[in-house]
């Protein structure tokens, strides 16, 4: 019976964990998952992987994987919890330190990408619903990447508060410095996240 219920669980995380019978236990488990996921995002923000043309962090991979494993609602809650750490002054973002955390950080050059992570988690969660084909999963994650990059690009181009006092870099410079150098690395992370999620569901299915 437990095996059957896990196979029909709406998310990979819940399918992998033992079934719970009460609303309170489910809430506590979701809180624990959100905290664990938010700490994974902190770790992913601080890891710099040598890559071409620029080093990359693992945040995109972590956001996509969390959204796909947790589902849209819990994935979004996890990303918001992570952002909340930074708003309360904890140095959880990639450039903190030396840049100070807080609301000013979100108003800066990378704020649009951080907000884009929220949409990214929601779309990845939608794409990874139980029974989704690998093609839908990969396509949904690619869409999530496009939405996140678009949010970051337009904010960097038009709204970001720069250290010089200027507002935005303009469209050309925002693409040149904020999008183009990261396209190859993020495409790789989209592919990895889709493979990890698909492999997770296959493992759950074989175990069941």
Please say if the pLDDT value at position 143 is more than 50. Answer: yes
- pLDDT band for position 121 (cuts 50, 70, 90): very high
For 49, the 3-state DSSP assignment is strand
For domain 2-207, the question of CATH label 1.20.120.160 is answered with no
User: What's the rounded mean pLDDT across residues 83-102?
Assistant: 94
Please tell me the predicted confidence (pLDDT) of residue 202.
85
Cα–Cα distance for residue pair 127/170, rounded to 1 Å = 33
How far is CA 201 from each of CA 74, 86, 141, 158, rounded to the nearest angstrom?
Answer: 18, 33, 16, 41
pTM for this model (two decimals): 0.91
**In Å, how far from its chain's centre is CA 140?**
13
């Amino acid at each position: 019976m437990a095996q059957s219920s896990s196979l029909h669980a709406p998310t990979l995380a819940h399918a992998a964990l033992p079934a719970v019978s009460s609303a309170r236990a489910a809430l506590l488990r979701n809180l624990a998952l959100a905290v664990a996921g938010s700490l994974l995002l902190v770790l992913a923000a601080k890891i710099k992987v040598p890559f071409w043309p620029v080093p990359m962090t693992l945040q995109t991979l972590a956001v996509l994987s969390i959204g796909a494993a947790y589902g849209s609602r819990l994935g979004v809650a996890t990303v918001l919890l992570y952002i909340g750490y930074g708003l309360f002054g904890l140095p959880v973002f990639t450039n903190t330190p030396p840049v100070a955390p807080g609301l000013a950080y979100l108003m800066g050059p990378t704020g649009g990408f951080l907000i884009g992570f929220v949409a990214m988690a929601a779309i990845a969660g939608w794409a990874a619903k139980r029974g989704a084909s690998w093609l839908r999963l990969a396509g949904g994650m690619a869409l999530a990447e496009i939405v996140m990059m678009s949010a970051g690009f337009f904010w960097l181009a038009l709204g970001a508060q720069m250290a010089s006092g200027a507002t935005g870099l303009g469209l050309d410079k925002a693409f040149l410095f904020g999008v183009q150098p990261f396209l190859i690395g993020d495409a790789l992370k989209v592919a990895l996240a889709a493979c990890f999620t698909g492999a997770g569901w296959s493992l759950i299915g074989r175990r069941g």
